[in-house]
């Protein structure tokens, strides 16, 4: 379901009446006290929304919650799971009715919208308790507003280029280093039931924005101007749009017009694409769907426009957790969050998707327990490539710093609809880009 501006504004405009007084220190103290009973025990019922829909991650979270409730018998944790797209709809509409959880996961772009709506509680005490110096400053900055941190990163990853080693070898091709080399290789490898590279642009997800951002960032540009306006009509952005249209036309399944993230990834999992762009989550997906191909996949840095262009990182994600301002038991939420960072629990969580989820805190990746994982050992090159991309990249649009505009850029499906309009209706590229740019800027104007 496409997110409509009116829906988002309804949530933002009404949230003040729901949580506007939540920052009052007296109210916060009352909340904290209600989480601890007269015997000093944590007490209270909380709801946790998360988007870890894959089995192993979901199972570790549930096991941790079960153990936490066993250790704290006065606490009850109800867990609800939503895809990222459904989660966005759920919380934006929930703001209007007060139907939001006590704690949740989020995407970096979500967090800036949540902070703008004053919907979150600060987490500085939790961060300090775990150890502020264990977290990358840039990761904490993504959830910082007016000197307070409203999110805490649970794991990190970055987008890189995945490829099939066997298909390249059979065709006598090298790993592409430029976009032109990728297009040539992808077209060559589109045969025998395999697509060279799928281009996804389903309007219920951010994939079209993600892929366009790759190209624009490779040229040193951004989808946002310095004054936080959408920029889809620059020469670089137009080149990027045309690049992905060419990929769609010549080496992508036509159904990818409506693909969301899982649809796109599943093609690579099943051995049906030669190239894809994703994080280390590709490894687990291939192991589950096509175990005979695990030895044939690897990753490389994102392509450049020219081979001698500087290295860059287009998209880093520090996936955070947040506590909602409406929660009556924020201390229970924080105590449970802290449990997730305990060494044994945290490594078990990361091992649910090894290499796909990299540690967001120091002192984990170099431990014998973490290094003992077979996938971490086998895909050490991927760990290095992804880590480098993490260090060089930002969340989409965050190269200008965290902003509501960056969040809206990825959450509204406008760039995806632009691609669909061009492909389905034959609309002129520059005309479609200008219309999408204007629509985004109209939305941006409501939050300035």
pLDDT at 8: 45
The reply to whether 160-314+412-445 shares the fold of 5-157+316-390 is: yes
Q: What is the pLDDT of residues 322-353, one digit of tens each?
A: 999 999 999 999 999 999 999 999 999 999 99
User: C-alpha angle with apex 384: 379 to 386, nearest 5 degrees?
Assistant: 95
Which is it for the CA torsion 70, 326, 136, 110, positive or negative?
positive
Which fold would CATH assign to domain 160-314+412-445?
D-Maltodextrin-Binding Protein; domain 2 (3.40.190)
Q: In this structure, what are the phi and psi dihedrals at residue 182, rounded to the nearest 5 degrees? A: -65, -45
Which fold would CATH assign to domain 5-157+316-390?
D-Maltodextrin-Binding Protein; domain 2 (3.40.190)
- Report percent pLDDT > 70 for the chain: 92
Q: What is the pLDDT of residues 151-201, one digit of tens each?
A: 999 999 999 999 999 999 999 999 999 999 999 999 999 999 999 999 999
* Confidence check: pLDDT of 432 > 50: yes
Q: What is the pLDDT of residues 389-427, one digit of tens each?
A: 999 999 999 998 899 999 999 999 999 999 999 999 999
Which is it for the CA torsion 61, 64, 69, 72, positive or negative?
negative
pLDDT at 24: 36
* Confidence check: pLDDT of 22 > 60: no
Per-domain boundaries in the chain: 5-157+316-390, 160-314+412-445
Q: In this structure, what are the phi and psi dihedrals at residue 95, rounded to the nearest 5 degrees? A: -60, -35
| Residue (of 25, 374, 423, 407) closest to 224 by Cα position | 407
Residue corresponding to tokens 């990358």: 136
Residue corresponding to tokens 């009556």: 328
- Cα-based distances in Å from 310 to 226, 341, 398: 21, 36, 19
* Confidence check: pLDDT of 4 > 50: no
Q: What is the pLDDT of residues 233-247, one digit of tens each?
A: 999 999 999 999 999
Per the confidence metrics, is the pTM higher than 0.85? yes
Q: What does the mean pLDDT of the chain come to?
A: 91
CB 205 within 8 A of CB 260: yes
| Residue (of 261, 242, 239, 218) closest to 392 by Cα position | 218
Q: What is the pLDDT of residues 262-291, one digit of tens each?
A: 999 999 999 999 999 999 999 999 999 999
CA distance 145 to 151: 10
């Amino acid at each position: 379901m496409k997110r409509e501006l009116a829906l988002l504004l309804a949530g933002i405009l009404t949230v003040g009446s729901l949580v506007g007084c939540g920052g009052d220190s007296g109210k916060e103290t009352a909340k904290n006290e209600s989480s601890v009973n007269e015997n000093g025990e944590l007490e209270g019922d909380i709801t946790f929304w998360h988007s870890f829909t894959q089995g192993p991650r979901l199972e570790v979270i549930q096991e941790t919650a079960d153990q936490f409730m066993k250790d704290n018998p006065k606490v009850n944790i109800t867990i609800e799971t939503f895809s990222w797209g459904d989660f966005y709809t759920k919380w934006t509409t929930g703001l209007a009715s007060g139907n939001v959880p006590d704690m949740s996961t989020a995407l970096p772009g979500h967090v800036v919208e949540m902070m703008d709506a004053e919907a979150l509680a600060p987490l500085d005490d939790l961060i300090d308790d775990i150890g502020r110096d264990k977290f990358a400053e840039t990761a904490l900055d993504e959830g910082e507003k007016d000197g307070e941190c409203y999110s805490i990163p649970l794991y990190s990853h970055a987008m890189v280029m995945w490829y099939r080693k066997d298909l390249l070898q059979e065709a006598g091709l090298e790993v592409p280093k430029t976009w032109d080399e990728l297009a040539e290789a992808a077209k060559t490898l589109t045969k025998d039931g395999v697509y060279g590279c799928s281009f996804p642009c389903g309007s219920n997800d951010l994939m079209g924005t993600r892929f366009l951002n790759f190209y624009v960032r490779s040229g040193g540009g951004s989808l946002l101007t310095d004054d936080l306006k959408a920029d889809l009509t620059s020469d670089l952005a137009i080149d990027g749009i045309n690049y992905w249209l060419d990929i769609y036309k010549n080496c992508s399944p036509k159904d990818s017009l409506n693909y969301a993230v899982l649809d796109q990834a599943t093609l690579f999992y099943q051995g049906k694409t030669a190239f894809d762009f994703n994080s280390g989550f590709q490894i687990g997906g291939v192991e589950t769907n096509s175990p005979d191909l695990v030895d044939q996949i690897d990753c490389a840095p994102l392509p450049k426009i020219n081979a001698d262009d500087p290295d860059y990182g287009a998209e880093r994600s520090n996936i955070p957790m947040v506590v909602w301002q409406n929660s009556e038991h924020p201390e229970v939420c924080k105590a449970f969050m802290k449990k997730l960072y305990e060494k044994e629990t945290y490594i078990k969580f990361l091992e649910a998707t090894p290499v796909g989820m990299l540690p967001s805190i120091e002192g984990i990746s170099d431990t014998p327990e973490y290094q003992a994982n077979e996938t971490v050992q086998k895909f050490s090159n991927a760990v290095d490539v992804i880590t480098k991309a993490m260090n060089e990249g930002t969340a989409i649009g965050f190269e200008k710093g965290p902003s509501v505009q960056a969040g809206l850029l990825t959450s509204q499906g406008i760039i995806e609809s632009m691609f669909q309009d061009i492909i389905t209706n034959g609309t002129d590229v520059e005309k479609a880009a200008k219309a999408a740019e204007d629509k985004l800027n109209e939305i941006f104007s409501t939050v300035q």
